[in-house]
Each structure stands twice: as C-alpha cells, then as structure tokens.
Amino acid sequence: MEQATKKHFYHHGQTPAGAEENCHWCQIRSLPNQSTIPITIVNDVDSELLPEDFRFINAMVLGQGVEPAEDSFRSGCSCTDDGDCQYTGCLCLADLEDDDDEMNGHGRKAYAYHTHGTKAGLLRSRLQNSTVPLVVERGRTVPLQIFKTSNRGWGVRSQTPIKQGQFVDRYLGEIITAEEADRRRANSAVSQRKDVYLFALDKFTDPDSLDPRLNGPPLEVDGEFMSGPTRFINHSCNPNLRIFARVGDHADKHIHDLALFAIRDIGRGEELTFDYVDGVVDEQDEVEGVEGMTECLCGNKRNYTKEYVGSRKAAMYMKELGTAKRRAQAMNTRENTAKYGKMSGFRWPRQKRHADAQAEHLKIWFRSSVRWAVLLEDNEFTKNEIFVPIVYKEYVSVATDTILASCNATAGEMRRSVSTFFNSPVVRAAFGDFITQCASPGFKDFLESKLIHVLESLADSFNNMRLDTTSRRVPWQAAKRTRDDKLKQLALEYLVRIETWRLEGLANGKPWTFGTRSSRYQFLASTLVQLWYMEKEGCFCAREIRTSSRDWNILWDNWAEGCTRDVVTDDKLEKDVCVGVGWRPVGWLEKSSAH
C-alpha cells in the first residue's frame, strides 16, 4: 500500500486528536459529489505525499478584509429563464476575449452549454439557450485524479473522457486582498513561483468604475494552501482547458468564480492542463534566463527555444514594453471598456493586465488633450534670496551621487542627464500635481516628517511593479484611510508617472537609464525629496497649463532643445541627446516647426 494511503487507513485513531482534519483523504471524502464523481490521488512515481500544509476545500474561503455584498444587494442571475441566459447576452458569464481572432485566425470563439438531459454541461453547436452559469453552479463534472508526473510534480487527469466545451471544475482558494497577495509574493522565495498559484479576480476591474470594489487593485485567489484538485493542474503551451470568469451573483462581481472548461475533446487519463498565461503569444527568442522562472517541461513548445512557467508574462513584458503594438492594444482595451462597460476576457496575464491598465490609464490621463497640469517653473531667487540655479546645482549633484557609483557615465555627463530629467515638463508637472494634492490643511506638516519614511517603505513595491521589466501591480489605489496611506499613494503616483515616461525611452532604443535598478529607485525617489525641499525654499512658482496647449509644446521644445548637443560621428556633425536621454516627446520636432 502506498505511503499516502497507509497514513489514512492505519494511523487514524493513533495520531493526535484532529489528525483526520489534516488528512487529505478525509478532506476529500467530505466533499459533495465525492461518492458519484470521486477525486482520487495516486503516486506511481515515488513516495511523495501531497504537501502537508495543503487542505482541500469545496468553496472559496474569504480572507481578511474580503467581504461579500450584503444580502439586500443580491440579485442572482438577471435572466428570467434558461433561454435568456445566453452566452453573448447574459452578463453572468463574461465574454471571451476577441484576441482569439488574432491568435488562431478562426474568428471569435464562443461556447454555450446544454442545460438538461444527457447532454447537460456539453457544448452546443450554436449559441442558443445556454445556461453557462448554472453549469458552473452545479460543480465538478468529471472524476479527477491527482497523480504524480515524472517531471512536473503532481498533475491532474480525468478518469472519464471530457467533451470540448464541458465544464470541468472551479479554481478555488483563499480570496485575499491585493496587499495580502503582494505580501505573500514578497514572502515567497521567488515571487514568480507564487504567481502560479495566484489569480487576480480582475475580470471586471475598471479604473473608471464607480464601484470601489472594482476600481482598485483586484482581489486575488491563492490556491497554494487551500484549494480543490484544480490547484494541481499543470501549465501547458498547448492546453486542453481554459479558465473563464463567471459571475454567480452580480452583487459580487469582485469575487467572481474562475471556471475551467475543456477547449477540445480530452481522452480518459489524458493530463489536464491550462495555459497559465492564457494564450499571450509572441516570439520568445530573447526570453532567456529570467530569474526565478521554471523552465516549461510540457513538451509543447511554441517554436521557442525556451518557455517558462507562469512568468512568461514578465519576459513578454520585457520584450514588448513600449512598443506601439502594446500601447495600441492597451488603448483598445480601454476603448472596449468604455464601450462595453467592462474589461473582457483574460487577454493579458493575470496581474499584469491590471497593472497595464492602471499604467496606461495614468499615461493617457497625463497626456490627455483636455488635461490641466500644475507646472512648477524656476524662480530666479529663493525666499532667502539665493540664486536658484545654485540651489539647483547643489541638488542635482546630490541626486547624481546616488547613481554615479552604478553607471558608466562620467560625473559631468550624468549631471547633465539628471538636470535634464529634473527639468523635464513631465517631472515638473508630476511634482506640481503631487504638491497641489498635498496642500490640504495639516497634510503638509505631516508630510515633511513622513516623506522619506514613506519613500523608503515604497521601494520594494515600486521595484516589483510591472511598469518595469519584471514588475507587478501598481498599488497606488491602496487604502486611503490614513494620511500615511494618502501620502504613499501620491508619492507612488508621482514615481509611476515619471517612471512610465522614462521607460518609454525604450521604444526609441535609447533607454534613459540611471544606474542599476535599485539605484534608479533611489534616484527617482530623491527627485521627489529634492523637488520638495526646493519648493519649500521657494525655488518654484506654480502655473496651470493645459497639456494640449501651444505653451505646453513650446515647453517641450525648449526642454528638448536643451537636451541636445552637437556630436561628431564619422566626421559628421549631428545633434544628439545628452547621455541617457533617449526620448523626446512624440512629434516634438513637428510641433516645433508647426508653431
């Protein structure tokens, strides 16, 4: 008898009280449907057991700070009968991503399911009378077996054949707040590893939503320590399952279900898999050796030399960030959101999609043609009658010193870059907005003593953000309850704005870099501190400016003019931007000649 089974059959009663509770067989035995559609566990490979700290559950467990809607808000499915509850019309199950058109050229995929009779739960050929929500509600449809694979730990297979379109089971776990998810990632030895167990419930996340539960960072499902058998399903680049968002109750869209459906016929005993990053496909030829990634052993490589499990998104992002394609796609998502009232589909890898939306939101907001920015321009003298350029030089030197050690540039070159950065309309306007929002009574005094502390505490979350090549969410919408949180939010917003702008330099192949990754954060943060002190000393005067205005363009032109210098390459005299500055505002030259 297997070790695992022995434990269950021989040791109960002998082990300390409560041992049954920790026994996977006992947990499984108490699941509904177990007598008719059993879950089994086998290990023909070695003597390993399922992780001891894992517990089988049959429903989502709500973590601290996660609340379902009150009963008075509950509506259930709004369709009056099964016939109305159609895939494309019913909001209970959100629609599939139209990305599929691009991906497989077969047009939009859509599934509908039989509700009654022998075909219950199976795919209909046409979109008629489907009741997908009820299919999910009814629970697992196939006897799942957790088995030990030869090279990828545990996996899952079905002991009966599965039809294309059939609902298999839900992905269960603990529903936790975004902050808690970040904490768990940070505590995990390799955050990318933790990512494979976390699913952001971001299907209906929309930065413009009026529902506070939908406009901030989404809740996440952590299946690592408590879940159903689907937690053991491995990744494949050619999967046979796909995961969908499903809403049982519209009052609880923020805690929607994650339902796994077969996307093709699956034979008895065939391993069940889904694509952890859900079909985001691109050339991966440059994706080599990203720290913390597990090499994919599914055997279905998509013509790439190497695939990574669960964190391909990071590599994808690294490659794509700043390209016109990604920006256009992100814009489309927003347009779709505005048009259809919700984000649709798992188009992007889970957490990244949310971070992208937030970052894009900021960028668009910042550039939007109707926006006003508070711009801080240099005075000639400070309050104490010190010549501002002297103060400025001082601060630029301090900022330069924080990064010089980790870059190749000379002090002179780097000082030039730093001062150009400090002077850029984006940094000035971002700081202008920061300072304006800090102007509420009492907030400023508080801010003085807290700013540095807050910036220190933000370092990790900023460095982990997906704005950068390997980063994750943008948590600036974090709780606003205390003043400290508000300050965090404002500081993060400032940092994100200048960082997203800096990163766009990548698009021109001339990144504007400031030393290493960690020194870069220090540098960005120090710009905020120093601008803050300069403002206090009276170096600036504020003026409101419309970002679509001629003035704004002139500002850019003047700034860009100041960045350039004459260089001689191959005996030719050319204008070049100063060290590290690779980006000019799109069309600034054209704008310059137009005005």
Ligand X SMILES: C[S@@+](CC[C@H](N)C(=O)[O-])C[C@H]1O[C@@H](n2cnc3c(N)ncnc32)[C@H](O)[C@@H]1O
Which one among 196, 251, 373, 487 touches ligand X, defined by CB under 6 A?
196
Return the number of the residue (170 or 488) whose C-beta is nearest ligand X.
170
Tell me which stretch binds ligand X (CB under 6 A): 22-30, 191-199, 332-340, 374-382: 191-199
Q: Identify the three-state secondary structure at position 76.
A: coil
Applying CB under 6 A, does 431 fall inside the site for ligand X?
Answer: no
Rounded Cα gap, residues 91 and 85, in angstroms: 8
Rounded Cα gap, residues 137 and 40, in angstroms: 22
Return the number of the residue (312 or 584) whose C-beta is nearest ligand X.
312
CB of 294 to ligand X, least distance (A): 5
Residue 181 has which token pair? 């998810």
Rounded to the nearest angstrom, the gap between the alpha carbon of residue 314 and the centroid of all alpha carbons in its chain is: 10
Which one among 49, 297, 479, 542 touches ligand X, defined by CB under 6 A?
297
Tell me which stretch binds ligand X (CB under 6 A): 111-119, 289-297, 447-455, 529-537: 289-297
Rounded Cα gap, residues 332 and 338, in angstroms: 10
Applying CB under 6 A, does 581 fall inside the site for ligand X?
Answer: no
CB 290 within 8 A of CB 314: yes
Q: Active site residue: 111, 276, 304, 494, which one?
A: 276
Burial track 471-490 (b if 16+ CB lie within 10 A, e otherwise)? bbbbbbbbeeeeeeebbbbb
Which one among 193, 301, 367, 483 touches ligand X, defined by CB under 6 A?
193
Q: Identify the three-state secondary structure at position 161.
A: coil
| Footprint of ligand X on 322-341 (CB under 6 A) | none
Q: Which residues contact 112 (CB under 8 A, 6 or more apart)?
A: 86, 87, 123, 124, 126, 127, 128, 129, 130, 132, 165
| Footprint of ligand X on 118-157 (CB under 6 A) | 152-155
CB of 2 to ligand X, least distance (A): 16
Which one among 205, 234, 333, 513 touches ligand X, defined by CB under 6 A?
234
Q: Alpha helix locations (H) across 12-93?
A: 24-29
Q: Please say if 276 is a catalytic residue.
A: yes
Tell me which stretch binds ligand X (CB under 6 A): 61-69, 296-304, 499-507, 582-590: 296-304
Among candidate residues 250, 321, 60, 294, the one with its CA nearest the CA of residue 174: 60
Which one among 123, 309, 418, 467 touches ligand X, defined by CB under 6 A?
309
Q: Please say if 87 is a catalytic residue.
A: no
Render 428-446 in DSSP notation, one character per residue.
Answer: HHHHHHHHHHTTSTTHHHH
Strand partners, 271: 157
CB of 470 to ligand X, least distance (A): 17
| Footprint of ligand X on 150-169 (CB under 6 A) | 152-155
Tell me which stretch binds ligand X (CB under 6 A): 232-240, 259-267, 485-493, 552-560: 232-240
Q: Active site residue: 87, 111, 113, 171, which one?
A: 171
Interface with ligand X (CB under 6 A) = 152-155, 193, 196-197, 231-232, 234-236, 294, 296-298, 309-310
Catalytic residues: 171, 276
